[in-house]
Structure 1
Amino acid sequence: MSTTTDTPPEILRARMVERILAGQRLAPAVEAVLRHVERHRYVPDAPIGDAYNEQAVITHTAPDGTHLSCASGPMIVAAMLDALQVQPGQNVLEVGAGTGYNAALLASLTGVAGQVTTLDINADVTAAARRNLDDTGYHHVRVITRDGAEGAAEHGPYDRIIVTVGAWDIPRTWWDQLVPGGRLVLPLRWRGTTRAVAFTKRDDYWESDWVFLCGFVPMIGQPGEHSNTIDPERLVTLHYDTDQPTDVDALQGVLDRERIEVWSDATVGGEEPFDRIWLRLTATDDRTIRIQAEQQAVTSSLCTPAIPVRSPALVEGGSLAYLTIRRSDGQPGRWQLGATGHGPDGEQLATRIADEITAWDTDRTADPRMVAYPTGTTPPADLLGKVIVKPEIRLYLTYKQP
């Protein structure tokens, strides 16, 4: 598809905003800044059509091909900005400078009486962000080269903190530098999935009121996840958190063992999302991880996850099960959801996934209540929910009982 265009950027920008509004509501102030700030001027090396399409634009890449920084897709930018609820005159910290575009949006929202500070660990990224912000008139935005986990206490405290890199944990520094009642919006990763989450700082805990599926370049310096292949050809990889006792040696060759399929009654159309099945698994089962299958593994039927590059799985000892999908008999255009298991406990694990598919099917838009207690604070003894322990927080996820 060609990305060249003769359409003026203001028309492309208006179309971008209308496309966003077709999928989500935005506060009038957020809509206004999206219409005003010239996104294409923050990705000057990209075709102008790419700047306003619903896609991330990679701006910095490591020698090994790893993406270090990008301009995130407009829809997730708008969603996180809306969830942040920035008000004029506020002091805002951004972790992950990117191209400077998000900082420009924040500066437009805070106005002349507000302050915006953006951080990035990569000096090339901050240099580009500084240049872009200066070229577009946002000279007053502070751009600092620093590990984002440290924050910037010298310019705090902050009314709002937004994180635009994938975070596996929530550093205590962000808690200390945010005012009581302030909001933190970040892409938080647990059990292999990433969700943009909006937290409000309460007396001694974070409380979430918004969750949104997303994907971000991971934050440097938070090695909270392991990855290992489980087949001789290295076509299938498991991704799991450091607190999960996953025995990858016992799982070697498990996909060559008998395949057991367990199917639910739930079906989806081609465009219907089912990512909240994964979210439910993380809130109910500590064995939830991510499975990734290369196309060769799918083509050969070695491993057929519902979404090959990222699907939920359960592991127990030398057994494995993962979410899968097949065309629905008698329902053209629809797909049936189920699970495939291998190993001694493969059927049990597959049935466990099928049970969560059924629970999801009763309320497909339900999200869990999420609270996070910084390490060193004491949660109430009667606090319910699945607990996920990280070095700097304990994350609690709870679904309302039907």
Structure 2
Amino acid sequence: MRNATNTPADELHSRMIAAITAHSPHRPRTIDAMSAVPRLGFLREINPDVTAEDAYDPELAVITLKDPETGATLSCSSVPTLVATMLDQADVQPGDRVLEIGSATGINAAYLAHLAGPDGEVTTLDIDPWVTAGTRRALDANGYKQVRVVTRDGALGYAEAAPYDKIVVTVGAFDLAAAWWDQLAPDGRIVVPLRWRGQTRSLALVLDRDRLVSESVVLCGFVPMIGQVGERSAAIDSADTVRLYWDEDQAINPAVLAGVLDHAKTETWTGVMIVSEEPFDGIWLRMTAEDPGTCRIEAKPAAVMSGLCTPAIPVRSPAIAEGESLAYLVLLRSQGQALQQQWELGTAAHGPTGHQLADRLCAQIRAWAASRAEEPRVVAFRQVMATGDQRGSVLIAKRDCSMRIKYSTR
């Protein structure tokens, strides 16, 4: 945390709101809610040492509670710019019945209560009694006693107050729990940070008969939900400096891939350039829609320094794994004289069919470059279907649902 300054909290709050509105356009009702609720009051109720500067930093997630035994984060107030985006996605209206999964500091439940108004109803759930005790205390202290706080596994929902017009999940989920489908009202909406193929997106999903259809898809990151499983990981080198992460529905065998990095590395460059601060996570999202081998690679500093594995972003980059071969995204710094620093996107490949995987990844890079702002349509089906793929569309099978991600250009 930073040291406190003499800047009044009200001024810092106003600056945060101005920064949020400058970051991207938001619904007026979202800005009104975030202006009305005292963020600092909620955070300090959980952790009195939080500074006003940290509380009102528009790009800072503030950890407010850790497990004293393990050090794991139990409660955190999310980055305000992301909070605003997810409130936009939820589009809570006066009179709505809202279920929140993940209580944290209670501030998001307060935003939801402000949006739902006196005729609405908000219930917030968390599996950890330490968290819900703090949530209840913070809500009461800041004038939101009407919010119901329940200690319960969020995957079970809260049938006692269902159906819900909106379900807002504020922890990282790996699946769309069966109870959420059961407890959502017709035409209801779920906002959920959903993880698949090693990356997480906040999805605004609207119920359409027996399926949920995305209205928006936003990159994000959240503390994972306790109890939901489905992601696997394993080292692919003897020193455990490089790991792959993949989903349980994928035919990726780490035993077969062990030692793949000992094969000669082949780099392929696409001619696609990015400039400083330009996001390229859309490549990963597009890969999840179209390539069944998409996964995540992570390289520790020792692996990067030695040249063993050099992903574009060492801690989290997209890769394609299949059989005994691997390809992953890499960057090459341009030596040109452009006003902004530029990097070329390419692939590094290993293994007997690595060149084929590199070709597939390069095709995804070029497809993204042709339409960088394109957002896919995510469709989730309640029934769990057998894995497989259609032309230009991979089926992602989870335990309580199946998903397809589709691009209009395919």
Q: Does 1:121 align with 2:127?
A: yes
Aligned partner (choices 248, 257, 263) of residue 254 of structure 2: 248
Report the residue type matching 1:281 in the other structure: M
Is 1:360 paired with 2:364?
Answer: no
- Cα deviation, 1:125-183, whole Å, max 9, x if unaligned, reads 10111111011010110000000011001011111110000111101211111111111
Corresponding residue for residue 339 of structure 1: 347
Deviations 1:17-73 (A, max 9, x none): 111112221111110111111111121121221111111111233433332331111
Q: Does 1:91 align with 2:102?
A: no
Q: Alignment partner for residue 191 of structure 1, among 191, 197, 216?
A: 197
Partner of 2:24: 24
Q: Which moved more, 1:99-108 or 1:244-253?
A: 244-253
TM superposition shift of 1:2: 3.5
CA distance in 2, matches of 1:383, 1:353: 16
Q: Which residue of 1 aligns with 2:405?
A: 397
The secondary structure found in structure 2 opposite 1:43 is helix
What is the CA-CA distance between 1:385 and the residue it aligns to?
3.0
Please tell me whether the aligned partners of residues 160 and 183 of structure 1 are also in contact (alpha carbons under 8 angstroms): yes
Q: Which moved more, 1:62-71 or 1:194-203?
A: 62-71
Deviation at 1:401, TM superposition (A): 2.2
1:119–1:144 contact (8 Å) kept in structure 2: yes
- Residue by residue over 1:174-204, the C-alpha shift from the partner in whole angstroms, topping out at 9 and shown as x without a partner, is 1111111111100011111100000001111
1:86-235 alignment, distance < 5 Å: 86-235=92-241
Q: Which structure 2 residues correspond to residues 289-328 of structure 1 after superposition, within 5 A? A: 289-328=295-334
* Residue segments in structure 2 that go unaligned for 5+ positions in a row: none
Tell me the number of residue pairs that the alignment of Structure 1 and Structure 2 aligns.
Answer: 399
SS for the counterpart of 1:249 is helix
Residue deviations 1:272-331 (CA, integer Å, cap 9, x gap): 000000001000011000111112211221111111111100111121111110102325
Task: Indicate conservation of the 8 Å contact 1:261/1:347, yes or no.
Answer: no
- Using a 3 Å threshold, how does the CA distance of structure 1 residues 343 and 383 change in structure 2: closer, same or farther? closer
| Equivalent residue, structure 1, for 2:11 | 11
Question: Any conservation in 2 of the 1:230–1:253 contact (CA below 8 Å)?
Answer: yes
Instruction: Provide the secondary structure at the position in 2 that maps to 1:183.
Output: strand
* 1:56 matched to 2:61: yes
Mapped contact 2:384–2:399 kept (Cα < 8 A): no
Deviations 1:66-113 (A, max 9, x none): 323311110111100011110111110000001000001011111111
Q: TM-score, normalised by structure 2?
A: 0.94
In the alignment, residue 55 of structure 1 is paired with which amino acid?
L
Q: 1: CA distance between counterparts of 2:402 and 2:222?
A: 22
- Give the CA RMSD over aligned residues: 1.7
1:384 deviates by 7.8
Conserved? CA contact 2:136–2:149, under 8 Å: yes
Distance in 2, matches of 1:61 and 1:337, equals 39
Match of 1:167, SS state, is coil
- The amino acid of 2:53's aligned partner reads G
Contact 2:205–2:213 (Cα < 8 Å) also in 1: yes
2:317 maps to amino acid: S
* SS of 1:283 mapped into structure 2: helix
Letter in 1 for 2:109: A
User: Residues 342, 65 of structure 1: CA spacing in aligned structure 2 closer, same or farther, 3 A cutoff?
Assistant: farther
Following the alignment from structure 1 to structure 2, what is the Cα–Cα distance between the partners of residues 135 and 293?
Answer: 45
Contact 1:369–1:398 (CA<8 Å) still a contact in 2? yes
Q: Which amino acid aligns with 2:324?
A: G
Q: Which amino acid aligns with 2:66?
A: T
Aligned counterparts of 2:237 and 2:392: Cα–Cα separation in 1: 38
- Aligned equivalents of 1:247, 1:116: Cα separation in 2: 44
Q: What amino acid maps onto 2:63 in structure 1?
A: I
What is the CA-CA distance between 1:212 and the residue it aligns to?
0.3
Unaligned runs of 5+ in 1: none
Look up the match of 2:289: 283
Task: Confirm or deny: 8 A CA contact 2:127 2:154 kept in the other structure.
Answer: yes
Instruction: Work out the CA distance in 2 between the residues paired with 1:24 and 1:177.
Output: 32
Moved more, 83-92 or 243-252: 243-252
Q: Is contact 1:375–1:391 with CA below 8 Å preserved after alignment?
A: no
- Aligned partners of 1:377 and 1:142: how far apart in 2? 36
Write the letter of the residue equivalent to 2:221.
Answer: G
